[in-house]
Structure 1
Amino acid sequence: MTTTYTSEQIIDLLFTNSGKFVSLHTANPGATGANELTTGVDANYARKAVTLVKSASGTVYQAKNNASVAFSAAAAGANYSVTHVCIWSAATAGNCLAVLPLAVALPTVAGTINTFATGDLTVLGD
């Protein structure tokens, strides 16, 4: 079990500073961030910047997006489902910091804009 102090440190050190990005994944990314959407599948795809803010949930700290995150409209010919999102340390390459499975896959075709409302993306510090 992680202590409350350790939970807060995890969130502070890894998630609440600037320079975090959200990625879309079409299958389980595992611990490395695999299966990220590529421009070969959707020419308009790019990771999106995100600002995460800390809050406490009982004895566990968490970080949530403090504003809506909207991806560009899917390009012509796009046809895929988003099953996971990840939080990264960079807009390209970088380190995968967290893997967040979606409760329901997001079917995406040309013109679809995948959007996550404020607070939808939650990382627990446990």
Structure 2
Amino acid sequence: MPASTYSGNALLNLLLRGVAFSAPARVYLSLHTADPGLTGANEVSTGDWPAYARQDPAQGAAVGTGFGAAAAKATDNAKEILFPAHNGGSNITVTHFGIWDASTAGNLLWYGALTASKTLFPTDEAVWKIGELDLSVT
């Protein structure tokens, strides 16, 4: 899974130049209808899904509780992540996810394609069970 331009630059500056990087106080999971690229494009809109909002994997607890400790350059979600029921008028097909440092706007940190795209019909919920959202550094 690719890191965003923002994250890549911060990591390189930290490790190779000693330039401090402040870790986000909280991270948020977004859903996308196409590849978000390095900037987070194609995020689901509240025009199509009025109840949509990025979700906090830590669910309000300490940010470190949302994902397990990294091992072998990988981690996964430590808690179930549930998006609100799709309350729009038409189907939405979700193909990608993003990890952000803010609930709205902010900086895209990480992104990736879903294993399989998912069409959400009105009243459907999007959910990741514990351990289903895998992040890795390649």
Q: TM-score range by the shorter chain?
A: 0.7 to 0.9
Aligned to 1:55: 70
C-alpha distance in 2, partners of 1:103/1:70?
17
More strand by share: 1
1:30-109 correspondence to structure 2 within 5 Å: 30-50=37-57, 51-57=66-72, 61-109=73-121
**Deviation of 1:69 (Å):** 0.3
**Deviation of 1:94 (Å):** 0.8
CA root-mean-square deviation: 2.2
**Does the Cα contact within 8 Å between 1:14 and 1:97 map onto a contact in 2?**
no
> Which residue of the other structure, out of 18, 22, 29, is the alignment partner of 2:36?
29
Identity of aligned residues (%): 33
Number of residue pairs matched by the alignment = 113
Letter in structure 1 aligned against 2:112? L
Q: Which residues of structure 1 form unaligned runs of 5+?
A: 1-5
**Deviation of 1:27 (Å):** 0.5
Runs of 4+ with >3 A deviation: none
Q: Which residues of structure 2 form unaligned runs of 5+?
A: 1-10, 16-20, 58-65
Letter in structure 2 aligned against 1:56? A
**Deviation of 1:124 (Å):** 1.1
C-alpha distance in 1, partners of 2:67/2:100?
12
**Does the Cα contact within 8 Å between 2:81 and 2:127 map onto a contact in 1?**
yes
Secondary structure of the equivalent of 2:109? strand
User: 1:2-26: CA deviations, max 9, x gaps?
Assistant: xxxx9xx99xx788x6401000000
